[in-house]
Structure formats: structure tokens, C-alpha cells
Amino acid sequence: MRQYVGRTFALGVGRRRLVPYVGCHLKEFPRPASLLGSKRHGAQFAGLRTEAELTSDMKFESATTTMPVFRLLGEDGRLVPGATLPFEQEEAVGMYTSMVRVAVIDQILNSLQRQGRISFYMTSTGEEAAGVGTIAALSPDDVVWPQYRELGAFIHRGFTIEQVIDQCLGRHTEPGKGRQMPVHYCDAGKSIQAVTSPLTTQVPQAVGAGYAFRIGGERRCGASYFGDGAASEGDFAVALNFAATLKSQALFFCRNNGWAISTPTKDQYAGDGIAARGIAYGMNSIRVDGNDLAAVYLASKTARDMCVNEGIPVCVEMMTYRRGHHSTSDDATRYRGGQEPKTQARLGLEPISRMLLCLRDRGWWSDEADEALREATKEEVMSALRAGEAKLYAPVSDMFEDVWKIPPPHLQRQRQECFEHIERHKPKYEEHLAKFQPEKH
């Protein structure tokens, strides 16, 4: 050991070179535990968060045990041994009602797209419990970042069928003023952020909000929804690491429905699903039967309690199935057999029928009530559709607004070119422009 002004160096053995060893004299060099006569069998390294066992048996690890799937209701609608129902009749009926309403809305709007009355649609068929069960477990103050299959979350939090129709029709009465694709809902008044098309961008945003909630001492969380395909994006890994290391009050709700458009899970990941990634990043995680509304609700409620009481992120993976096409732009029969969706639709396996069996078994619901609910929802959708189709689109000039306080020159130039083009070809546009609100002067 040689000491020089301002720095201490250790002399490299055998190669006669000086190696910086800042702030440590020879007598301060740490002694290996074996040289000190310690009987400890573990070792602590700077890169380990816990003490690790030392071993001379070289073994490469590929996986731990497969994570179990949490379930409360069997396919007969009855509680599995040792389980209790986590809600009372009123709440159970309320959640079931939301799931049925989503199913009816999906059926009608999917048909409307085929008729050319709306341009695009995505159903939640088979995944209704994932959206409704999670949102029901949250506080109204918890801020939600949805993906694009969370209609159940919107409906259960109070989003109206009129809002659904107006958004899908692109009318001026919806917050996006028709500038978003259909099914890209938003209701900031209900603490639900806008759906965005790019995958996974909403997950880091929820984590950032959750971090702000923790350092601000707020008892609420940021909840993000995404599918198994979105979890393959780089933003997902960044978000999990951010949340775990900074203790963000964030909830990760993954709908693992088996397919990322046409890509099956076997081609998406080789590990044990999505929840295991939460564990790898150091957060509490659980895998749930996503077709079991009771299990989804209880797991989400418990996760939310952990999140706000302990100030930690939690990952919830819901194992479900996308029974419909990815969207109306997709033909799922081209990449999966016709029998697979039918098998996944059997009574008691898919979420709506399983919850119906549970309600019937307790005498909380009847076939007459079910038929009345479906008919009333259908009429509400058709009424909202008639009203929506009579509404005007936002003014053409709105496409140039709401981004810049002072529009930049290139945007002003595009606006001018647009209206000059319309003026030159006015006869061709008159009939179509009658569907738009007049320009503001």
C-alpha cells in the first residue's frame, strides 16, 4: 500500500501497477469472512438485496415453481372449498349488471361496424370480469390508465351508453371531438384517462402518478391496464423497475387473454407469464382466474390495500380468453381454430355465465331479471344511437386546435390550405359539410 496526496492506491500484485482504492488504508481493507474465521454460510454483495447462500454446486436456474391461479368460484358458480364470497348481494348484482351491459353494447356496436355505421370497434367478449372486477375494487379517487378493452371499467364507474355511442360515432359532444379512433374513451371527471392506441405508453404514466401520490402522502393509486402482448414492449420493463425501486403506488392489471392479435403466448414469452415478472422486479404479484369475478375483485381489493397502506406497487395477472376477434380489422379464424373460441365460451367457464350461476344459486337473480336487463340495455343503446346519429361533427377547424396555445407556422399553413381547398371545391363538399358544426368566427 502506498499513499499519495489526495488518494490512496493499492499496488497491483504481479503486474506492478497502481490501482485506485479511494479512501481506504491497508488496515481498513475488508477481510474475507473465511479469513476471519466466520461461520456464516451466506454472503452479501452490493448487487444483492438479501443475503444469498454460498454453494460449490454449480447450478443454472431457469425457473422457480409455477405460480398458482387464485380462484373463488368454480365453473358451477359455487365457492371452492375454503372460500367465501367477498361481496354482498347489492354489489354482486351491480357488477353482474355492468358485465351484461358491456356484452350487449359490444354485440350491437360490433354489428354496427359491419353495417358501416361506425368505422372500427373492439369487443371485450370473454374478458368482462377483468374490467368490472378490478374497477369495483378501486376507490373513485384512484386514477386509471386504460388500454382499449376496458369498457367494463368505464361502464361500472358511471360512463354512460350515450358517451359510448357519441365517442364511437365521433360526434362533437364527446371529449375528443371525434379526433380519436372509436373505443378510445375518456372521462377525466371520473379519473379515467384517455385510451391511446400505442401499446404500453399508459403504464409508465400510471407509475409516475403513483410515485407522486406516495411522496405527496395521498391514499390513492395509479392503475394501468394492459394485455399480455403489451407486456412485451420495452415500456413495461421500464415501468416495473421504476415502480419497484421508487415504491410507486401503482397497480398493474394484466389481462392475459392468450393472444396478442394473432400472436399466441407461446411466441410471446418463454417464462412463467406476466406476474412472475413482477416478482423478478421485487414487487408483490398474484395470478388470478380472470373469468372468476369474485376472485378478480378480492385480489384487486387486497392489492389496492397493499398499494396505499404500504406504499408499494402490486401486479395482478388475470388469466382469461379473448373470445372475439382482436378488432373489427382482424379475422381470428385465420390463426386459431374455430373450436377453440367455442370451447372457451362454455357455460361456467366464461365470466358472465359463471357469475350468473352464482347469483342464481343464492336466489339473488332470475332469468326474468336477466332478460329484462338485456332488453333495457338494448333499447338504451338503440335510443342513444338514434340521438347520436342526429348530432353534428365538430367544426372542421377543430382538427387544428387544442394542441398549441399559439399554432406554429406549419400548422397555420396547413389550416389555410385546407380551407382554400374546400372553397375551391365547395359544390363537392356542401352535402358532407352539412354534417359538421358551423365554423366559429
- Residue spans per domain, the chain: 1-59, 89-389, 396-433
Range in 277-281, 336-340, 377-381, 419-423 the model is least confident about: 336-340
Share of the chain above pLDDT 90, in %: 83
Measured between alpha carbons, how far is 235 from 351 in angstroms, rounded to an integer? 30
Mean pLDDT of the chain, nearest integer: 91
State residue 3's pLDDT score: 46
Rounded to 10°, the helix 234-246/202-215 angle is: 10
State residue 65's pLDDT score: 78
Measured between alpha carbons, how far is 418 from 397 in angstroms, rounded to an integer? 9
| Mean pLDDT, rounded, for 289-307 | 98
Which of 17 and 314 is assigned the larger pLDDT? Answer: 314
State residue 81's pLDDT score: 97
Order of strands, edge to edge, in the sheet holding 314-319? 143-145, 222-227, 250-256, 314-319, 284-289
- Which 3 state secondary structure label does DSSP give 225? strand
State residue 41's pLDDT score: 59
Which of 272 and 59 is assigned the larger pLDDT? Answer: 272
Alpha carbon distances (Å) from 99 to 6, 45, 76, 396? 70, 50, 18, 37
Nearest CA to 149 among 172, 116, 183, 176? Answer: 183
| Mean pLDDT, rounded, for 12-24 | 44
Buried b (16+ CB within 10 A) or exposed e, 74-110: bbebebeeebebbbeeeebbebbbbbbbbbbbbbbbb
Range in 23-32, 192-201, 224-233, 350-359 the model is least confident about: 23-32
pTM, 2 dp: 0.88
Measured between alpha carbons, how far is 206 from 138 in angstroms, rounded to an integer? 14
Q: Are 119 and 94 in contact (CB under 8 A)?
A: no
Q: Which amino acid is at 222?
A: G
DSSP 164-191: HHHHHHT-TTSTTTT-S-TT---BGGGT
Q: Are 147 and 195 in contact (CB under 8 A)?
A: yes
State residue 43's pLDDT score: 72
Q: Could you identify the residue written with the cell 454453494?
A: 55
DSSP state of 103: H
pLDDT of residue 336 exceeding 60, the answer is: yes
pLDDT of residue 131 exceeding 60, the answer is: yes
> Would you place residue 378 in the very low, low, confident or very high pLDDT band (cuts 50, 70, 90)?
very high
Q: Are 115 and 169 in contact (CB under 8 A)?
A: no
Q: What is the CATH number of domain 89-389?
A: 3.40.50.970
State residue 52's pLDDT score: 85
Q: Are 317 and 68 in contact (CB under 8 A)?
A: no
**What is the separation, in whole angstroms, between the first and last Cα of the chain?**
82
Measured between alpha carbons, how far is 77 from 216 in angstroms, rounded to an integer? 42
State residue 17's pLDDT score: 47
DSSP 329-390: T--GGGTS-THHHHHHTSTTTSHHHHHHHHHHHHTS--HHHHHHHHHHHHHHHHHHHHHHHT
Kindly report, residue by residue over 39-90, the tens digit of the pLDDT: 455 677 888 888 888 888 898 887 667 899 999 999 999 999 999 999 999 9
Measured between alpha carbons, how far is 329 from 183 in angstroms, rounded to an integer? 13
| Mean pLDDT, rounded, for 337-359 | 95
Long-range contacts of 270-275 (CB under 8 A, 24+ apart): 271/63, 272/63, 272/64, 272/66, 272/67, 273/67, 273/228, 273/317, 273/319, 274/228, 274/231, 274/315, 274/317, 275/67, 275/315, 275/316, 275/317
State residue 270's pLDDT score: 92
Nearest CA to 155 among 130, 131, 122? Answer: 131
Range in 32-41, 158-167, 362-371 the model is least confident about: 32-41
User: Phi first, then psi: what are they for 78, rounded to 5°?
Assistant: -105, 155
Q: Are 433 and 396 in contact (CB under 8 A)?
A: yes
pLDDT of residue 23 exceeding 80, the answer is: no
Q: Could you identify the residue written with the cell 394473432?
A: 262
Q: Could you identify the residue written with the cell 377525466?
A: 188
State residue 296's pLDDT score: 98
Range in 10-14, 105-109, 130-134 the model is least confident about: 10-14
CA triple 74-343-99, angle to 5 deg: 60
State residue 60's pLDDT score: 87
Order of strands, edge to edge, in the sheet holding 18-20? 2-4, 7-11, 18-20
> Would you place residue 141 in the very low, low, confident or very high pLDDT band (cuts 50, 70, 90)?
very high
Rounded to 10°, the helix 367-389/89-114 angle is: 50
Longest dimension (CA), the chain: 95
